[in-house]
Structure 1
Amino acid sequence: MALTRYNGMQENMPNSFSSMLDRFFNESVNSRNLTAFTPHVDACETERGFEIEAALPGVKKEDITIDFQEGKLTITGERRLEKKEEGRRYHMLETQYGSFSRTFYLPDNVNPDKIKAEFNDGILLVSIPKDEHKTMKRQITISSQGEKEGKADKKKEKTVAENGEAQKA
């Protein structure tokens, strides 16, 4: 008999032994795609930058790669299924295994040279600081077309006479 997770609904139970066998072989562990590991990620923005936190239980630090190129931060890695004992038959395998890749598009105001990553207790924390020069508020003065022409006219008005005094042309 196979172990199944109880969810309070008995509608999923097969009506006959034949349909139970069909279901068992159609949903068997061997037919599962073990390359569909997609880690759960939390991403947030703070005043100083962005933080990406990825849940990677069972993944080793050596199996994780983080790349940043052209505004894209990509986290790749692999969670391997390691067989611990021979002769073990799984009735249920809900843990995901395989290669994974997650890509995040970041704005232009980040500083890629100061990106840091920490890996503790199966949680990867990537800190992406904002570039202070790009995020600093600047006041821009507004000039009008008449002001530019007025300054040019004043320069033309000043000419130097032979005796060194300024005169109007």
Structure 2
Amino acid sequence: MSLIKFNRRFPLFDQMLPDILDTDRLLNEDLILEDNWVPAINVKENKNDFEIEVAAPGFSKKDFEVTITDDILTIAAENKNSVEDKDEEYSRQEFYFNSFKRSFTLPKSIDFSKKIKAKYDNGVLRVHLEKLEILKSEEHKKVIEIS
């Protein structure tokens, strides 16, 4: 069973009105920040484990929260930065807030008794989930003969 993403906000709305504001050349892109950014995610299923890679550059390790509740893996992050630029006649301060939340339904093959590991390095968060021992081998597979 594979991991399934289920938190797509409004897929029908996205199809009906595709990025109307992006075609308006009168507005500067800096004025409108899309709040629906979600990072790209890779899910690898190996013989013994699953590995989830989240491309989230600009965050730090402390910005992430990885939780599992009732077979739902949730990866969330929030980043707050501020830049202050001072000049003789004026002062300008810009705030930057970025956050996301992605959730996955975990398959029954995940071994919750083993330690689930997460590591953030070079803009990529990697979450490692072990499979149950019985599912690591092909012995649990039973072939049924068709008559």
1:56 match? 56
2:74 match? 74
How many aligned positions are there? 113
Indicate conservation of the 8 Å contact 1:36/1:98, yes or no. Answer: no
Indicate conservation of the 8 Å contact 2:66/2:75, yes or no. Answer: yes
Unaligned runs of 5+ in 1: 1-21, 89-95, 141-169
Deviations 1:27-85 (A, max 9, x none): 4422323x333111111100001000111111011110001122211100113343253
1:12 match? none
In structure 1, distance between residues paired with 2:84 and 2:129: 38
TM-score (norm: length of structure 2)? 0.63
In structure 1, distance between residues paired with 2:124 and 2:101: 16
Deviations 1:125-164 (A, max 9, x none): 1100001135552488xxxxxxxxxxxxxxxxxxxxxxxx
**Cα–Cα, structure 1 residues 53 and 84, in superposed 2: closer, same or farther, change >3 Å?**
farther
The 4+ residue runs of structure 1 with deviation greater than 6 A are none
**Cα–Cα, structure 1 residues 58 and 139, in superposed 2: closer, same or farther, change >3 Å?**
closer
Which of the pair has more CA radius of gyration?
1
**Cα–Cα, structure 1 residues 132 and 30, in superposed 2: closer, same or farther, change >3 Å?**
same
Q: Between Structure 1 and Structure 2, which shows a larger proportion of strand residues?
A: 2
Percent identity reads 30
**Cα–Cα, structure 1 residues 47 and 139, in superposed 2: closer, same or farther, change >3 Å?**
closer
Q: Between Structure 1 and Structure 2, which shows a larger proportion of helix residues?
A: 1
1:110 match? 110
Cα RMSD, aligned residues only: 2.9
TM-score (norm: length of structure 1)? 0.56
In structure 1, distance between residues paired with 2:77 and 2:141: 45
SS at match of 2:85: coil
